[in-house]
């Protein structure tokens, strides 16, 4: 072996290996190999905040393999991801392998294609120490905040808690929205519309105000007054404005906009989106027809909207050939990245526009296909001509009141042929297939007057998409951190999911209140954004690690001392939501609490009164006396008596039982579809529980079809031989069913139970 290429992920290693000749060996570091210790601070505060790195537990074998292969290599290429984290991983690997900083060993590629990889190998560079220092500063700062905050929270609030630089701000955002919703007082308002006859068409017009401007109808009396004045009188057309409007395409995706759009359109969580995007970037086997293993998209951690000239030219050629010259703009579209973006990489786009989603669909999992299709269509549309609309705005007068309506017709779909075909109607503008031929000074009679009462609604709770948008717009965190931040605050029960909404828990509100009291700067939006900019400045040699960290730590250490000194005096009590259920034992109004099995009702007088009540997922009290814990209703009824079925947990795993127990003893095993198909009869494979609560997977026709496995079958097939792949939980590895094939990859995933 002459050359050694070191990447991060095994999947990427397999892709790159297929591009390079037999003189290259490609191995994976499987992420970071060194980090700060978990049990101690790991930072020498007194000596320039020097970090103390140690080898990550469990990475010993990986490091041994790296050293062994490096010893046999005549040249080493460090090809980890092209971002701060990737640069830092290469720096740590170089340190372990004894590679000097002056050596040109670092290679990066924005897309994993044969051309890009081979070009990168020809042009190695030195490790960018400024980029490494920027990453180190972030890691040191996050450790200083996280380690110290967690200790304070353990002592002052509850053991097992954690705080963080960006997660605390994200939690504050969700918590404050919850406070806004509670404080919201609905305001009454009314709308008045008239249905007017114009020739063979009917036009709906809406009350706007008078000649002095817009007027809000705040009560029924005013609505009735308007109705009485206009009823039976003609509506005179004051003005008709016709014009052509352009709608420009959205720019190609950045990390943030991809997460927002995939969350809204596909319903995926941010962490899931990034996992699928990583798979598309690392490369998938598309078969011999499409060149074997290919990376389908460019690097997915970017905040730039820039596109390379070659990619833009390829997109325009594709548009011209498939959608016609009329859909090619006169000049190529250039999108300006927002202020503060790094612009180190291109926007997220397909690596090869000729790999049309429908052509490669059968080689991708359903999730991979949907996300790739979204990215491909967004990019192609971003390079197309604008959509054109013919619009009409009409203003009418009746008894001194002004009414308005408007409409539009699509004249040319442009980019909407590919992406964004929906057009959202505004309050006074509707998509009308045939616009009525209304003329100025024409008088129209009303067929019907429609009055409706409305109430203002509280601001909506944040979803993952809207929270990510808020973080990006306010310069809080970086796109690559949004998914893990949301995952952390949810996994620690600071925030819970309610459908797509994020809701602050009692614990989350307690922590935010504590942070607001003792560490106001940490959760201040502007201060957090400024800190982010200071950390970025290290990359551009405008600042140093010591300069940025010492400026922050000077104030932070004082806040730590103040919080520690006040520890004995501070007692932050959680706030609980009161229910309308009265405790039959002591008469107090019961409160909602969260327990091991979910939400339940408890007496606020605990421990004096220990009364509790189980509730279903809709908050309804379960009246059965035998119920001792909160329950979850199934989405089907009992087959014997028609009562609700509830989820139970027993020694043989999760199952369904009739809520009318013990009168009705009907039960049903809980079975979950895996998405995979039986290799024997092609039926669905289900996850089941056997004796001793052991999980196994079997054909839905079992025992008629005797296929079963202790390992979880996957929906994807082996990229080498096409056989079924299995996930072995005990070894955290994906393996091929065909033992002679030998394909396997290290991977940790959630087991379907």
Catalytic residue numbers, as ranges: 299
Q: Residue 193 class from Cβ within 10 Å (0-12 exposed, 13-18 middle, 19+ buried)?
A: middle
For residue 36, what is the enclosing H or E element? Answer: none
Cβ neighbours of residue 397 closer than 8 Å, sequence gap 6 or more: 235, 236, 238, 403
- Phi-psi domain of 366 (left: phi exceeds 0; alpha: psi -120 through 50; beta: other): alpha
Helices (H) and strands (E) in the chain, counts: 17, 36
Alpha helices in 284-432 (DSSP H): 309-323, 357-360, 366-382
Cβ neighbours of residue 640 closer than 8 Å, sequence gap 6 or more: 658, 664, 666
Q: Are 511 and 492 in contact (CB under 8 A)?
A: no
What angle is formed at CA 522 by the lines to CA 518 and CA 524, rounded to 5 degrees? 105
- Which 8-state DSSP code applies to residue 711? S
User: How far is CA 466 from each of CA 167, 230, 262, 491, 501, rounded to the nearest angstrom?
Assistant: 16, 42, 12, 19, 10
Cβ neighbours of residue 378 closer than 8 Å, sequence gap 6 or more: 250, 252, 253, 261, 419
What angle is formed at CA 126 by the lines to CA 51 and CA 347, rounded to 5 degrees? 90
Structural tokens at position 617? 């997922």
Q: Are 654 and 639 in contact (CB under 8 A)?
A: no
Peptide bond preceding 542 in cis form (omega within 30 of 0): no
Instruction: Give the other-Cβ count within 10 Å of 748's Cβ.
Output: 10
Handedness of CA 667, 687, 683, 700 (dihedral sign): negative
Q: How far apart are CA 209 and CA 400, in angstroms?
A: 9
Handedness of CA 312, 317, 321, 326 (dihedral sign): positive
Q: Are 577 and 591 in contact (CB under 8 A)?
A: yes
Strand 446-455 and strand 598-602: the pairing is unpaired
Q: How far apart are CA 217 and CA 452, in angstroms?
A: 10
- Which 8-state DSSP code applies to residue 686? E
3-class SS at 465?
A: helix
Beta bridge partners of 237: 396
Place of tokens 């250490």: 557
Print burial letters for 246-271: b (CB count within 10 Å at least 16), e (below 16).
ebebbbbbbbbbbbbbbbeeeebbbb
């Amino acid at each position: 072996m002459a050359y050694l290429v070191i990447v991060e992920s095994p999947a990427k290693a397999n892709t790159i290996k297929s591009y390079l000749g037999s003189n290259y060996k490609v191995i994976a570091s499987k992420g970071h190999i060194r980090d700060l210790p978990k049990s101690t601070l790991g930072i020498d505060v007194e000596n320039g905040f020097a970090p103390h790195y140690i080898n990550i537990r469990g990475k010993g074998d990986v490091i041994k393999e790296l050293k062994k292969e490096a010893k046999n290599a005549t040249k080493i290429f460090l090809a980890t991801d092209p971002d701060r984290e990737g640069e830092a991983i290469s720096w740590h690997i170089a340190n372990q392998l004894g590679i000097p900083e002056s050596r040109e060993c670092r290679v990066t590629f924005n897309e994993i294609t044969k051309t890009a990889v081979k070009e990168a190998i020809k042009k190695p560079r030195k490790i960018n120490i400024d980029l490494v220092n920027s990453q180190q500063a972030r890691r040191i700062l996050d450790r200083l905040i996280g380690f110290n905050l967690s200790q304070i929270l353990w002592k002052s609030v509850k053991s097992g808690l954690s705080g963080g630089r960006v997660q605390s701000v994200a939690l504050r955002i969700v918590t404050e929205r919850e406070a806004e919703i509670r404080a919201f007082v609905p305001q009454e308002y009314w709308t008045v519309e008239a249905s007017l006859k114009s020739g063979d068409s009917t036009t709906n017009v809406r009350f706007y105000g008078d000649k002095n401007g817009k007027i809000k109808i705040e009560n029924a009396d005013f609505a009735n007054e308007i109705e009485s004045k206009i009823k039976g009188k003609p509506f005179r057309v004051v003005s008709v404005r016709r014009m052509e409007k352009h709608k420009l395409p959205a720019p190609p995706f950045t990390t943030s906009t991809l997460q927002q759009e995939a969350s809204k359109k596909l319903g995926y969580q941010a962490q899931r989106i990034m996992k699928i995007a990583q798979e598309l970037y690392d490369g998938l086997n598309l078969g011999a027809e499409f060149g074997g293993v290919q990376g389908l998209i460019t690097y997915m951690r970017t905040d730039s909207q820039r596109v390379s000239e070659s990619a833009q030219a390829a997109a325009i050629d594709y548009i011209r050939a498939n959608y016609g010259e009329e859909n090619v703009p006169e000049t190529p579209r250039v999108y300006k990245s927002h202020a503060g973006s790094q612009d180190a990489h291109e926007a997220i786009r397909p690596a090869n526009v000729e790999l049309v989603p429908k052509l490669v669909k059968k080689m991708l999992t359903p999730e991979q296909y949907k996300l790739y299709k979204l990215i491909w269509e967004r990019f192609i549309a971003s390079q197309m001509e604008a959509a054109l609309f013919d619009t009409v705005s009409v203003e009418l007068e009746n008894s001194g009141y002004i009414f308005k309506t408007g409409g539009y017709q699509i004249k040319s779909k442009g980019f909407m042929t590919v992406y964004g075909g929906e057009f959202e109607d505004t309050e006074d503008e509707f998509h009308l297939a045939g616009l009525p031929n209304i003329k100025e000074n024409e008088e129209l009679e009303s067929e019907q007057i429609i009055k409706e009462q409305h109430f203002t609604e509280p601001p909506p709770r944040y979803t993952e998409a809207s929270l990510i948008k808020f973080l990006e717009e306010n310069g809080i965190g970086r796109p690559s951190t949004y998914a893990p931040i949301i995952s952390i605050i949810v996994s620690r029960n600071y925030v819970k999911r309610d459908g797509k909404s994020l809701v602050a828990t009692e614990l989350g509100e307690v922590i935010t209140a504590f942070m607001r009291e003792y560490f106001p700067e940490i959760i201040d939006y502007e201060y957090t954004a400024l800190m982010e900019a200071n950390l970025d400045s290290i990359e551009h040699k405008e600042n140093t690690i010591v300069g940025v960290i010492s400026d922050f730590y000077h104030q932070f250490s004082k806040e730590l001392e103040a919080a520690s000194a006040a520890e004995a005096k501070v007692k932050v009590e959680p706030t609980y939501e009161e229910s309308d259920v009265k405790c039959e034992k002591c008469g107090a109004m019961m409160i909602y609490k969260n327990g091991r099995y979910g939400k339940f009702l408890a007496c606020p007088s605990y421990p004096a009164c220990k009364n509790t009540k189980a509730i279903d997922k809709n908050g309804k009290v379960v009246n059965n006396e035998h119920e001792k814990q909160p329950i979850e209703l199934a989405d089907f009824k009992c087959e014997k008596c028609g009562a609700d079925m509830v989820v139970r947990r027993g020694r043989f795993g999760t199952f369904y039982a009739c809520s009318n127990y013990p009168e009705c003893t009907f039960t049903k095993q809980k079975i979950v579809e895996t998405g995979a198909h039986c290799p024997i009869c092609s039926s669905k494979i289900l996850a089941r529980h056997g004796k001793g609560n052991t999980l196994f997977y079997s054909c839905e026709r079992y025992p008629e079809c005797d296929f079963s496995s202790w390992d979880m079958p996957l929906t994807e097939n082996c990229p080498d031989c096409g056989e079924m792949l299995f996930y072995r939980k005990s070894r955290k590895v994906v393996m091929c069913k065909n033992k002679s094939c030998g394909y396997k990859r290290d991977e940790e995933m959630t087991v379907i139970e």
